[in-house]
Structure 1
Amino acid sequence: MPPPLLRLADQAAYQQHFVTKYCAGPLITNDGIPVFFKRHSFYHAFFDTVVHKDDTFSSIRAERMDWIEATLVDPQTQRFQGYLAKVKKHDPARRVELRYQNFIVVLIMGLKKDGSLKAEFLTCYAVNNNRLPKVQNAPAWTREDCENALQKR
């Protein structure tokens, strides 16, 4: 069962919650990978595109903000490789996490100086039900495939 929806007064309140909860330091996934959040990620994750990129605040997306942490720390979360539309292929260095309903969290994987994995939060959203099978049919994300892909870059 997903966490309750987050009901805050306005965009500013959601943004402050995001910064306080996620941007202060890394969140550690259930498999030990630190995930870093940047303030500007708020605009990509919680805005819908209408005319210009990321131009309309989405309270529907923002209400699921606390689902990010719940997804990342839950050992039941499914992990898939992300799809890069520009090159039309899956990327083992993109991690798509699916746990609650059709809600996904997308991470960009990287390597720390010591060679261990780290991640940067890219976005999160509810996938349309007609696109959900595409996510679920993507190759499984594995640490080994990700590390190999990153070492080749």
Structure 2
Amino acid sequence: MAYKKIKPQNFTEKQLRDIWRDEYCAAPIITFDGVSVVFYEDKFDHLFFESENRKAKDKSILSYNRLEKIYWIKDTLQDPTAILKQGWDNDKKEYYKNRRLAIVKGNYVVIIRFTAKKKATIVTAYEKEDITNILKAPDFEKTSEFFDI
């Protein structure tokens, strides 16, 4: 996989939003195993802004670190070598049946939520220094609810 980085400081915020819209929102991304993942323009803020205060979750700072990997989301979803894990529901303290985490490059994580058979939407994408807890999660298993098996 390519996993190319950009230099977001060389773009205006509008240009970065245009990349997001054109690359992700114009048409679904098809994963390596045939899942159609839909993206929405309003997810840009969630994915590419960071909070100055983690507790406040204000998402007030445009994150160049996240934006330099804007193309990695697609690459990760299409990478058949990605590690696939189940997502964790922090409120219920149990694993989601409809969330799949794909991990590449050691610590880059993309989370999708299944909405129907072979259909999903983006939840988030991020880099995490210590992913030990994620790697301990159960492997994602294809079920008849979301795949033709």
Query: What TM-score comes out, normalization by structure 2 length?
Result: 0.87
Question: Are 1:127 and 2:92 an aligned pair?
Answer: no
Counterpart among 82, 91, 116 of residue 86 in structure 1: 91
Structure 1 runs of 4+ with >6 Å offset: none
Residue 10 (structure 1) aligns with: 12
RMSD after superposition = 1.7
Matches within 5 A, 1:128-143: 128-129=129-130, 132-143=131-142
Percentage identity across paired residues of the two chains: 27
Q: Deviations over 1:19-60 (max 9, x none)?
A: 110000111000000000011111111111124432211010
User: How far off its partner does 1:117 sit?
Assistant: 2.4
Q: Which runs of 5+ in 1 are unaligned?
A: 149-153
Write the distance in 2 (CA, Å) between the matches of 1:4 and 1:96.
20
* 2:106 counterpart SS class: coil
Write the distance in 1 (CA, Å) between the matches of 2:93 and 2:141.
20
1:71/1:100 contact within 8 Å kept: no
> Which amino acid in structure 2 is aligned with residue 4 of structure 1?
K
User: How far off its partner does 1:2 sit?
Assistant: 5.6
Residue 118 (structure 2) aligns with: 117
1:2/1:100 contact within 8 Å kept: no
